[in-house]
Amino acid sequence: MHQSNTAAQKFTDPAGACVRLSISRPTLYRLIANDPSFPPKLKIGRVTRFEVAALDRWMLAQATAS
């Protein structure tokens, strides 16, 4: 049980990524398609996930770049 809880903290689904970044789903997919610095999505079978730490690093880089 502890392992799945740890995995849940390390990865998030697209909806969770949108909430974390305060963006809409279309904006998320636009970033994936057009921003090479945006963290890659991870496909695990049919499931898409994003690494939470990578999203946080990207968000911090965006804040310091502006």
Q: pLDDT digits over 16-45, tens only?
A: 999 999 999 999 999 999 999 999 999 989
Helices (H) and strands (E) in the chain, counts: 4, 3
Closest to 31 measured CA to CA, from 55, 60, 65: 55
Using the predicted structure, report yes or no on whether residue 1 has a pLDDT greater than 60.
no
Residue 17's domain comprises: 2-65
In the beta sheet, which residues pair with residue 47? 44
* Tally of structural domains, the chain: 1
Q: What is the DSSP string of 6-27?
A: HHHHHEE-HHHHHHHHT--HHH
This prediction has a pTM of 0.82
Q: Give the three-class secondary structure for 36.
A: coil
